[in-house]
Each structure stands twice: as C-alpha cells, then as structure tokens.
Amino acid sequence: MKIIWTKHAEQRLKEWESKLHLGKEDIENILNNPHQVVSGDLDAFVVQHKLNGGLLRIPFKYIDKNISIILTLYWTSKIDKYWRN
C-alpha cells in the first residue's frame, strides 16, 4: 500500500520521534499491521497500536484500496478511552 504523509503528520512525527523512538518506516509498518482500526471523524479511520504502556493513534483516510493518507499521529496514555473491545 502506498502511504502519503500530510505536512501536519510529518510535523507530529518529529515531535513524537524522540519520545517513542519511532521513525517514518515504523509508523508505516504499524499502519499496515495495526492492532486495531476504528472509525474516526469525517470519513477517516484511526489505527490504534498499543505501545510503551499507551496507545499510538494514527488517523488516516483511504484514497483508494492501494493508497492511504496519514492525517496526524499521537500517543496517549488513555487506552481505555479509545480501545474498542
């Protein structure tokens, strides 16, 4: 799958890179092999991946079946708030 990064997503990655020790390739691997995908706002989806005692959330949209665009990403300690059983 081809992955497109918004400028905002690239900026957020720079902010979280040193804290989470993840690079662009790691994020793309998580997007392709998530622990969970849930519905988000405005036709977006959110990849959720348990990591470092918290939850990495990556909102994205499908452009078509072979292309996704990452809107942003962030880590939260509030797993119970977002995780769906």
Q: What local confidence, expressed as pLDDT, does residue 65 receive?
A: 86
Q: Is residue 16 part of a domain?
A: yes
Q: How many CA atoms does the CB half-sphere of 82 hold within 13 Å?
A: 24
Q: Is residue 30 part of a domain?
A: yes
Phi, psi of 72 (to 5 degrees): -165, 180
For residue 10, what are the contacts with CB-CB under 8 A and spacing of at least 6? none
Q: Is residue 85 part of a domain?
A: no
What tokens appear for 58 in the block? 């990556």
| Distance, CA of 70 to CA of 44 (rounded, Å) | 10
Q: Is residue 60 part of a domain?
A: yes
Q: What local confidence, expressed as pLDDT, does residue 3 receive?
A: 96
Phi, psi of 73 (to 5 degrees): -160, 150
Q: What is the mean pLDDT of residues 66-84?
A: 96
Domain of 14, in residue numbers: 2-80
- pLDDT band at residue 1 under the 50/70/90 scheme: confident
The count of structural domains within the chain is: 1
- Residue 23 belongs to a domain with what CATH number? 3.10.450.530
